[in-house]
């Protein structure tokens, strides 16, 4: 990575906004000036301009008890009202909110008036089922309009959603349902993926059967029509929606009312339930969606390819775009089904003007070749966004040239589940962009790069990325675990002057622009999805064949990183089964326990693992093996011959 960057810095490729783009841009340099003049006033102005408050706030930020922040505390709002009713009342009821494109090719255009009507009914169903403000609702759905409708219905009644990505297994689903004590699960019979039906309801049944649970009902959307088993607690979504009143009055809730929990991987085996609240979150997602993507809601067609199971889908499919009255595409399927040009066909069909996706997708398309996108009319695209992992300069250039026709600006946006909204990005009408750099903090956000001792590294140097001031969409905690919240994010640089430690390495170039260098902890990034080495290791070790396991994220051309496991197998099993069989069994085991996204690309069966004298596994050395490099410094090894042994067993 650093080699590429140095090479690039020497080349100094830069792209200034064109005069045409800058003239019409929503976000101007005035935003930076306003924010630096008075940061809190700036966010208060944004909150008032972008949102409707049922009860206006008078306080902006309470940071008297760090790291527990309160934003706009005495204000009240209804998040769903802000995303729906107010646009209808403003006369935009006929504007399309969602162009839904199903994987089999079915499509549905849903206007703001229609979406509002559906959410009102769904909110009435939740109330009928006894869901109250503050209760948790688990959502386990494919990328269909009902996913967005469910989230907004939960928000509308002041309850808290926990969306669980459809690719997670029954076990992962169960632990998330339990951790949050959800009272209701919303799911579907199945979804379409790669031309086939993937059932979802059976995983919910498995997660809830035979264990004590707080779940009272399961609401089931009919999407694929496959047979499903039925229990007393199950209800069909369409029956329930038809049975309730069409009207629903949205009441205001306090700005700090919890909006959602989203589980994400950390450095230990147990996923963290990241908690977000309402007013500050909605302010920053609406602000960034409007200014970073230069959204002109009357004319733009926006498409974010993320699944609602991830934070990008929360902030930039559901809340940001709808708060801003955008028209957007919602796509159920995968990029290559039924043909590798599917995405570009969708861009052409809906005249998508703003596209937001991940580097892993861009690199996949690069590999397939430019002739595929070039077979479609992509001239509607005028802005491209990237998120999820560092984008290498080559992919950035390809994105700009091939997808953006050499004119559409590319914005690389850095943020996290924890930050809730974009934190570092270019503003496309202002910033001179450099391929591969995330560039600058957005107006109103304060970022620094520090060395281990907490000292600013200065231009031209690398270090650890921190956020130095509280921001409106910051996480408010880890569900049920305030201690872990403090330890994980706020203790590294002392308690006196709390700074948020992101877990990412970064470098400041000579101009002070920020380049992200990837995680510095044991969190992997596979296709833009966060996975914890510890979580996969504990899954591998939970299999009776495994004596010990170590997992590393190895560099991968397409997915950024890939899961590579090193396992020691108990002697008796080694005698009974072939290596191939053992590898297949362990792969299936991880898939069943966590989900297909965590399935190791490779499993190496070894006799020993490299450890320090105190018994800590030295992952760095395994990473060298996994990436086929010369093995680095082995002086800290308890037994220096172990790497030779490992290497020889792999040949």
Question: Which residue lies nearer to ligand WTA by CB, 272 or 611?
Answer: 272
Buried b (16+ CB within 10 A) or exposed e, 120-146: bbbbbbbbebebeeebbbbbbbbbbbb
List, as one string, the DSSP characters of 301-338.
Answer: EEEE---TTSHHHIIIIIIHHHHTT-EEEEE-S-TTSS
The one segment of 159-167, 210-218, 307-315, 609-617 that binds ligand WTA by CB under 6 A: 307-315
Question: Which residue lies nearer to ligand WTA by CB, 277 or 546?
Answer: 277
Asked if 276 is part of the footprint of ligand WTA (rule: CB under 6 A), the reply reads no
Q: Is 13 annotated as a binding residue?
A: no
Judge whether 131 and 219 are in contact, CB under 8 Å.
no
Site string for ligand WTA, 529-568 (x = CB under 6 A): -x--------------------------------------
Q: Is 452 annotated as a binding residue?
A: no
Question: Which residue lies nearer to ligand WTA by CB, 240 or 389?
Answer: 389
List, as one string, the DSSP characters of 366-387.
Answer: HHH-TTTGGGS--TT--EEEE-
Q: What is the CA radius of gyration of the chain?
A: 24
Cα(605)–Cα(649) distance, integer angstroms: 8
Q: Is 412 annotated as a binding residue?
A: yes
Give me 217's structure tokens: 């009902």
Judge whether 500 and 477 are in contact, CB under 8 Å.
no
Question: Which residue lies nearer to ligand WTA by CB, 237 or 415?
Answer: 415
Asked if 503 is part of the footprint of ligand WTA (rule: CB under 6 A), the reply reads yes
Q: Is 415 annotated as a binding residue?
A: yes
Question: Which residue lies nearer to ligand WTA by CB, 118 or 504?
Answer: 504
Cα(58)–Cα(602) distance, integer angstroms: 56
Pick from 295, 302, 166, 168: which is nearest to 221 by CA?
Answer: 166
List, as one string, the DSSP characters of 48-95.
Answer: HHH---SB--S--EE-SSTT--EESTT-EE-HHHHHTHHHIIIIITTS
Q: Is 499 annotated as a binding residue?
A: no
Judge whether 550 and 613 are in contact, CB under 8 Å.
no
Adjacent-strand bridge partners of 110: 98
Q: How far is the CB of 530 from ligand WTA (least distance, A)?
A: 5
Asked if 413 is part of the footprint of ligand WTA (rule: CB under 6 A), the reply reads yes
Q: How far is the CB of 563 from ligand WTA (least distance, A)?
A: 16
Q: Is 156 annotated as a binding residue?
A: no
Question: Which residue lies nearer to ligand WTA by CB, 72 or 302?
Answer: 302
Within 10 angstroms of residue 633's Cβ, the number of other Cβ atoms is 10
Judge whether 426 and 399 are in contact, CB under 8 Å.
no
Q: Is 583 annotated as a binding residue?
A: no
Residue spans of alpha helices (H) in 165-258 = 170-180, 201-208, 237-242
Asked if 474 is part of the footprint of ligand WTA (rule: CB under 6 A), the reply reads no
Judge whether 220 and 201 are in contact, CB under 8 Å.
yes
Q: Is 619 annotated as a binding residue?
A: no
Of 158, 271, 390, 610, which lies in the binding site for ligand WTA, with binding defined by CB under 6 A? Answer: 390
Of 161, 519, 543, 587, which lies in the binding site for ligand WTA, with binding defined by CB under 6 A? Answer: 519
Q: Is 530 annotated as a binding residue?
A: yes
Q: Is 245 annotated as a binding residue?
A: no
Q: Is 63 annotated as a binding residue?
A: no
Q: Is 466 helix (H, G, I), strand (E, B) or coil?
A: strand
The one segment of 42-50, 337-345, 499-507, 565-573 that binds ligand WTA by CB under 6 A: 499-507
Within 10 angstroms of residue 435's Cβ, the number of other Cβ atoms is 22
Residue 197 phi/psi, 5-degree rounding, is -80, 125
Judge whether 289 and 312 are in contact, CB under 8 Å.
no
Q: How far is the CB of 142 from ligand WTA (least distance, A)?
A: 19
Q: Is 541 annotated as a binding residue?
A: yes
Asked if 307 is part of the footprint of ligand WTA (rule: CB under 6 A), the reply reads no
The one segment of 64-72, 141-149, 381-389, 586-594 that binds ligand WTA by CB under 6 A: 381-389
Question: Which residue lies nearer to ligand WTA by CB, 125 or 465?
Answer: 465
Q: Is 121 annotated as a binding residue?
A: no
Q: Is 413 annotated as a binding residue?
A: yes
Asked if 387 is part of the footprint of ligand WTA (rule: CB under 6 A), the reply reads yes
Pick from 336, 355, 363: which is nearest to 404 by CA?
Answer: 355
Q: Is 339 annotated as a binding residue?
A: no
Give me 604's structure tokens: 């190496």
Of 60, 311, 430, 562, which lies in the binding site for ligand WTA, with binding defined by CB under 6 A? Answer: 311
Q: How far is the CB of 495 from ligand WTA (least distance, A)?
A: 23
Question: Which residue lies nearer to ligand WTA by CB, 57 or 500?
Answer: 500
276: left (phi over 0), alpha (psi -120 to 50) or beta: beta
Cα(600)–Cα(587) distance, integer angstroms: 6
Cα(447)–Cα(437) distance, integer angstroms: 15
Q: How far is the CB of 525 from ligand WTA (least distance, A)?
A: 5
Asked if 389 is part of the footprint of ligand WTA (rule: CB under 6 A), the reply reads yes
The one segment of 112-120, 165-173, 304-312, 444-452 that binds ligand WTA by CB under 6 A: 304-312
Of 60, 151, 475, 516, which lies in the binding site for ligand WTA, with binding defined by CB under 6 A? Answer: 516
Residues 6+ apart with CB under 8 A from 441: 423, 424, 447, 514
Q: Is 196 annotated as a binding residue?
A: yes
Q: How far is the CB of 287 from ligand WTA (least distance, A)?
A: 16
Of 85, 256, 412, 448, which lies in the binding site for ligand WTA, with binding defined by CB under 6 A? Answer: 412
Of 525, 527, 546, 559, which lies in the binding site for ligand WTA, with binding defined by CB under 6 A? Answer: 525
Asked if 504 is part of the footprint of ligand WTA (rule: CB under 6 A), the reply reads yes
Cα(50)–Cα(306) distance, integer angstroms: 24
Site for ligand WTA in 423-442 (CB under 6 A): 438
Q: How far is the CB of 445 from ligand WTA (least distance, A)?
A: 14
Cα(600)–Cα(267) distance, integer angstroms: 18
Asked if 111 is part of the footprint of ligand WTA (rule: CB under 6 A), the reply reads no
Size of the site for ligand WTA (CB under 6 A): 22
Site string for ligand WTA, 236-265 (x = CB under 6 A): ----------------------------x-
Question: Which residue lies nearer to ligand WTA by CB, 190 or 503?
Answer: 503
The angle subtended at Cα 311 by Cα 419 and Cα 418, nearest 5°, is 25
Question: Which residue lies nearer to ligand WTA by CB, 341 or 390?
Answer: 390
- As annotated, the binding site includes 193-196, 312, 388-390, 412-417, 504, 519, 527, 530, 541, 543
- As annotated, the binding site for Mg(2+) includes 541, 543
> Residues in the site for ligand WTA, rule: CB under 6 A?
264, 310-312, 387-390, 412-417, 438, 502-504, 516, 519, 525, 530
- As annotated, the binding site for ATP includes 388-390, 412-417, 504, 519, 530
């Amino acid at each position: 990575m650093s080699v590429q960057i140095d090479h690039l810095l020497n080349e100094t490729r830069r792209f200034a906004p064109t005069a045409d783009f800058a003239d019409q841009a929503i976000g101007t340099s005035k935003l930076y000036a306003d924010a630096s003049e008075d940061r809190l006033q700036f966010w208060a102005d944004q909150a008032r301009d972008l949102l409707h408050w049922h009860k206006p706030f008078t306080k902006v930020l309470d940071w008297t008890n760090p790291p527990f922040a309160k934003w706009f505390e005495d204000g009240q709002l209804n998040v769903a009202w802000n995303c729906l009713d107010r646009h209808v009342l403003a006369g935009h009821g006929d504007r399309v909110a969602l162009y839904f494109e199903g994987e089999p090719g079915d499509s549905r255009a849903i206007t703001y008036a229609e979406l509002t009507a559906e959410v009102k009914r769904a909110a009435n169903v939740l109330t009928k089922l006894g869901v109250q403000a503050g209760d948790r609702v688990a959502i386990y759905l494919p990328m269909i309009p009902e996913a967005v409708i469910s989230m907004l219905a939960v928000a509308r009644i002041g309850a808290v959603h926990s969306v669980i990505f459809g690719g997670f297994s029954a076990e992962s689903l169960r632990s998330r349902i339990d951790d949050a004590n959800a009272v209701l699960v919303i799911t579907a019979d199945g979804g379409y993926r790669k031309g086939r039906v993937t059932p979802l309801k059976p995983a919910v049944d498995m997660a809830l059967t035979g264990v004590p649970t707080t779940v009272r009902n399961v609401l089931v959307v009919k999407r694929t029509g496959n047979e499903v088993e039925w229990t007393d607690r199950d209800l069909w979504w369409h029956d329930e929606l038809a049975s309730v009143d069409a009207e629903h009055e949205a009441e205001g809730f306090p700005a700090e009312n919890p909006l959602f929990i989203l589980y994400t991987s950390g450095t230990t085996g147990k996923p963290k339930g990241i908690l977000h609240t309402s007013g500050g979150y909605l302010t920053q997602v609406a602000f960034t969606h409007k200014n970073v993507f230069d959204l002109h809601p009357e004319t733009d067609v926006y498409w974010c390819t993320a699944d609602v199971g991830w934070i990008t889908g929360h902030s930039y499919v559901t809340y940001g775009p709808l708060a801003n009255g955008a028209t957007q595409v919602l796509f159920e399927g995968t990029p290559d089904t039924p043909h590798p040009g599917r995405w570009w066909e969708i861009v052409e069909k809906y005249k998508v003007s703003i596209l937001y996706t991940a580097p892993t997708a861009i690199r996949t398309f690069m590999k397939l070749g430019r002739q595929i996108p070039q077979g479609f009319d992509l001239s509607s695209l005028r802005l491209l966004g990237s998120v999820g992992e560092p984008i290498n300069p080559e992919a950035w250039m390809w994105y700009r040239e091939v997808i953006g026709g050499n004119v559409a600006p590319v914005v690389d946006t850095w943020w996290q589940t924890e930050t809730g909204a974009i934190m570092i990005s270019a503003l496309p009408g202002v910033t001179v962009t450099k391929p591969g750099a995330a560039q600058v903090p957005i107006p109103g956000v304060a970022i620094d790069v520090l060395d281990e001792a907490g000292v600013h590294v200065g231009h031209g140097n690398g270090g650890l990325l921190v956020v130095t001031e509280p921001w409106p969409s910051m996480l408010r905690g880890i569900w049920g675990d305030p201690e872990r919240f403090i330890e994980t994010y706020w203790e590294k640089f002392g308690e006196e002057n709390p700074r948020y430690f992101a877990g990412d390495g970064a470098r400041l170039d000579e101009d002070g622009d920020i380049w992200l260098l990837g995680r510095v902890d044991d969190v992997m990034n596979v296709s833009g999805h966060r996975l914890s080495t510890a979580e996969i290791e504990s899954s591998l070790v939970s299999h009776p064949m495994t004596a010990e396991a170590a997992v590393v994220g190895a560099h991968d051309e397409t997915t950024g990183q890939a899961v590579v496991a090193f396992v020691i197998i108990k002697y008796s099993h080694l005698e009974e089964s072939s290596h191939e069989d053992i590898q297949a069994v362990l792969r299936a085991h991880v898939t069943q326990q966590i989900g297909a996204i965590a399935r190791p690309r490779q499993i190496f069966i070894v006799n020993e693992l490299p450890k320090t004298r105190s018994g800590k596994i030295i992952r760095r050395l395994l990473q060298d093996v996994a990436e086929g490099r010369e093995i680095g410094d082995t002086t800290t090894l308890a037994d220096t011959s172990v790497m030779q042994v490992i290497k020889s067993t792999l040949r």
